[in-house]
Amino acid sequence: MHPIQSLARTKRGFTLVELLVVITIIGILAGLLLVGVNAALKAARRTQIQTEINNLHAAFEEFRQSKNAYPPNCMNQGQPVTNLEAIAFADLERFMKSAFPRHRERKELLYSLVYGTTNPVVTQSSLNRYGMRADEAIVFWLGGFSDDPQYPISQKGGPAYPNTFGPAEPLDERSFIFEFDRARLGPRDDNGLFAGRFLVYKSPIIDNDSSNDVLRINLWTYTPPNKKQPFLYFDTSRHAAVSYDNSGSPVGAYDPVSNNVVAIKQIDTAAGNRIQFANPDSFQILTAGLDDEWGDFSKFVILKDYTVPILYPSGPFTGEIADTQVNFSQKPLEDSEE
């Protein structure tokens, strides 16, 4: 027999069992690779968001260096504290006098930023009964102010601009402290124009009925890349936790409708286990995490016949709040848990 004929007779294909084994092995390897790739992508997205949180943190620290204080929240957050609006307004007035000692901005304008109501000077407002919220504070404070020492809000470079532009705010004229990605400023309508809450008021410089003397302030929000829930800012430098919330809830929940208190709290053992804000004497920046859901921070964990409050860093942080990211930890809440 010719050698080539003998070799041809000995060659054969894979059996069905062998093919199934190979396919199964490839499937397992592909699955393991997919898990690894997903984990790496998830870690990369978290790192990207955390880097931006750190940059926002640095911007607020720079703000404090230039203005001698962290900016206040100045909002009524719908909590059962009857004097919360008065607290917020007093904070804003004191801050403006300290940061801009020569300012002559009208008291009614500051009033509207806190109370969100109309008055003789503020001719129109979409703030309803709530003032500036935690998701709107970041762009307002880091969006920059005018160099005019008397009118840091109302003059060019500040958050106000002529109402003749309507929602088409000339953002290039603002003196931004932080380099925001303009594409992630919102909310916007289908035409890319601002579609959020705003107020319109008479210019404090020229007091007449001309439409050119009417100014507008848009309350922009800022979101992480490819997310819908915005960054939040909460000032923890001015008051104890109980000053903002006497409902007994140890950790605030963010409700974009009622704008409930947004703040993570912890136990201050040095003060006899008193509940205080996490990152006291400073501020909190928060995001909803990769799942884009805040969850319910206000819940208590029920263990047997008693309840345990959810406090940082003990937690337990589970469910939607687990991947919440903050400026006072380089890890999400679930990974920061002790």
Tens-digit pLDDT string for the chain (338 aa): 555 555 455 556 668 777 788 888 888 888 777 777 778 888 899 999 999 999 999 999 999 999 999 999 876 554 444 567 788 889 999 999 999 999 999 998 998 888 876 565 666 677 766 678 888 999 999 999 999 999 999 999 999 999 999 999 999 999 999 999 999 999 999 999 999 989 988 888 865 555 568 899 999 999 999 899 899 998 999 888 777 654 444 334 444 444 454 678 888 777 777 888 889 999 999 998 899 888 766 554 444 444 556 788 888 888 888 899 999 999 999 998 87
Do 192 and 127 belong to one domain? yes
Number of domains within the chain: 2
pTM: predicted TM-score of the whole model, two decimal places = 0.82
Based on the fold, state whether residues 85 and 193 are members of the same structural domain: yes
In a domain, 38, yes or no: no
- Residue 219: phi and psi, rounded to 5, are -100, 90
DSSP summary character for residue 299: P
Tokens matching residue 78: 């719908």
Question: Are residues 192 and 321 both part of a single domain?
Answer: no
Domain assignment present for 15: no
Same-domain pairing of 79 and 138: yes
Contact 299/310 with Cβ under 8 angstroms? Answer: yes
| 48 in a structural domain | yes
Query: Based on the domain organization, do 129 and 177 belong to the same domain?
Result: yes
Pair 103, 204 in one domain? yes
Longest dimension (CA), the chain: 113
Q: In what order do the strands lie in the sheet with 325-326?
A: 232-235, 283-287, 325-326
Q: Which amino acid is at 316?
A: P
3-state helix, strand, coil in the chain (%, to 5): 35, 15, 50
- Give yes or no: residues 111 and 215 share one domain: yes
- Domain region containing 258: 43-59+231-336
Q: Does residue 13 form part of some domain?
A: no
Whether residues 182 and 83 share a domain: the answer is yes
> Is residue 82 situated within a structural domain?
yes
> What is the DSSP code (8-state) at residue 311?
B
Q: Do 207 and 236 lie in a common domain?
A: no
The whole-angstrom separation of Cα 242 and Cα 321 is 22
Q: Rounded CA gap, 222 and 57, in Å?
A: 14
DSSP state of 7: H
Q: Are 85 and 211 in the same domain?
A: yes
